[in-house]
Amino acid sequence: MAKGRLPSFDELPKFQNFPGCAWNVWGKDDQLGTVNLLTDEVVKKATEEIKLGKTICLNWPVNFPEKPFFGRQTPKIRSWGTDCVSDDSIFINTQSGTQWDGLKHFGIEEHKIFYNNTSTESLYRGQLSLPDPSTIDPNLIKLGIHNWAQHGICGRGVFLDLVKHYTADGKPLPYDPWAAHPIPLRDIEDCAKMQGVEFRQGDILILRVGFIQRYTMATPEERSTLSGKPENFAGIEQTEEMKRFLWDNHFAAVASDQPALERWPTPDGVPHLHQTILGLFGMPIGELFDLEGLSKFCAESGRYTFFFSSWPLNVLGGVASPPNAAAYF
Ligand code: UVW
């Protein structure tokens, strides 16, 4: 990782009409992006958060939701066995449920370019055959999720419970999490202030906007029609100040409990934040994290920071992965 002060958002060069291009921050061959911020020192310091031995799972069951969004396939899980031995197989789209979007997932659409100036044409798509680990062609697995899987996404987690922030004093949530409501930066900053949270370089930012809470409260009919509708989710607003906030705090990753992190759909003419966060910053985007247990424990304990660990599946050249994520207090 480059030593010294990281450039601010406004010091980063533009890529075409997109500000905030971090392609040269960690070198032209880099494939880790902001996961580079999870240095040994950052991870070691984050372990100081573990004081109680309390652990909380942040993954929805792999088979949820039964009808994934954006037209993705339903997970298929099959077990079989003999009198005393069982096996099972699973087939999942790696983005059907709780997931990290990897660097191959989203680039700058109009320029067909992914993180670190990687052209769409140079990304391998198709069935990978990797017979011999010692002779893998690096071009076949460029920007794959294995880079994060082999490094780990571990450090200090910082949880902002926007649902609790908005509903303090018994007020109802001022938006429907299943509607395209934009969450502005000022609400995120107010929530951090209310919770007494200050950010550190390399933090993993986790936002609860209420999507899974809404899901758990919905009727079976509502849930089953949800994936048949056009995708509409409350999420972070697509603004330049939001990009500046995410970069200038030097988060290593950002995640939420909804399917796209950002408000969906994006208004006409406004680029998706995915393009900047993945394509220019190289920052992992976490989606559909189960934050219900975390919310309860943070409210009870008054603690909103913890050690966070995530070990994505070590799939060479993979696009995305369930995160296998946990919080440790
Ligand atoms: C979008 O790309 C909008 O969502 P996801 O990251 O789940 O694919």
Least confident interval from 28-42, 121-135, 229-243, 292-306: 121-135
Provide the 3-class DSSP secondary structure of residue 323. Answer: coil
Measured from the CA of 95, which atom of ligand 1 is nearest?
7
Q: Distance, CA 168 to ligand 1 centroid (Å)? A: 30
ipTM for the predicted complex comes to: 0.94
Q: What is the pLDDT, as a whole number, of residue 246?
A: 98
8 Å CB contact between 321 and 151: no
- Residue 1 confidence (pLDDT) above 50: no
Which two tokens mark 230? Answer: 């056009």
Q: What is the pLDDT, as a whole number, of residue 230?
A: 83
Percent of the chain with pLDDT over 90: 91
pLDDT in tens, 35-80: 999 999 999 999 999 999 999 999 999 999 988 999 999 999 999 9
Q: How far apart are CA 98 and CA 137, in angstroms?
A: 30
Residue 273, C-beta contacts closer than 8 angstroms, at least 6 positions apart:
236, 238, 242, 243, 261, 262, 266
Measured from the CA of 106, which atom of ligand 1 is nearest?
2
- Residue 328 confidence (pLDDT) above 60: yes
- Mutational pocket test of ligand 1: of 106, 272, 278, 285, the residue with most ligand atoms within 8 Å of the beta carbon: 106
pLDDT in tens, 247-272: 999 999 999 999 999 999 999 999 99
Measured from the CA of 260, which atom of ligand 1 is nearest?
4
Measuring CA to CA, which residue among 66, 116, 59, 126 is closest to residue 96? Answer: 66
Measuring CA to CA, which residue among 3, 75, 78, 82 is closest to residue 37? Answer: 3
8 Å CB contact between 41 and 303: no
pTM for the structure as a whole: 0.97
pLDDT in tens, 103-161: 999 999 999 999 999 999 999 999 988 888 888 999 999 999 999 999 999 999 999 99
Domains of the chain and CATH, by start: 11-66+92-328 (3.50.30.50)
- Mean residue pLDDT of the chain comes to 96
Mean pLDDT of 286-309: 98
8 Å CB contact between 165 and 210: no
- Please tell me the residue having the least CA distance from ligand 1 atom 1: 260
Q: What is the pLDDT, as a whole number, of residue 7?
A: 98
- Residue 279 confidence (pLDDT) above 70: yes
Measuring CA to CA, which residue among 309, 185, 208 is closest to residue 257? Answer: 208
- Please tell me the residue having the least CA distance from ligand 1 atom 2: 260
pLDDT in tens, 174-215: 999 999 999 999 999 999 999 999 999 999 999 999 999 999
Q: How far apart are CA 58 and CA 51, in angstroms?
A: 19
- Residue 2 confidence (pLDDT) above 50: no
- The helix (H) or strand (E) run that includes residue 256 is strand 253-256
Environment class of 174 (CB within 10 Å of its CB; exposed 0-12, middle 13-18, buried 19+): exposed
According to DSSP, the residues that pair with 56 across neighbouring strands are: 327
Q: What is the pLDDT, as a whole number, of residue 131?
A: 82
Read off the pLDDT band of 4 (50, 70, 90). Answer: low
Least confident interval from 32-36, 202-206, 228-232, 288-292: 228-232
Read off the pLDDT band of 229 (50, 70, 90). Answer: confident
- Residue 3 confidence (pLDDT) above 60: no
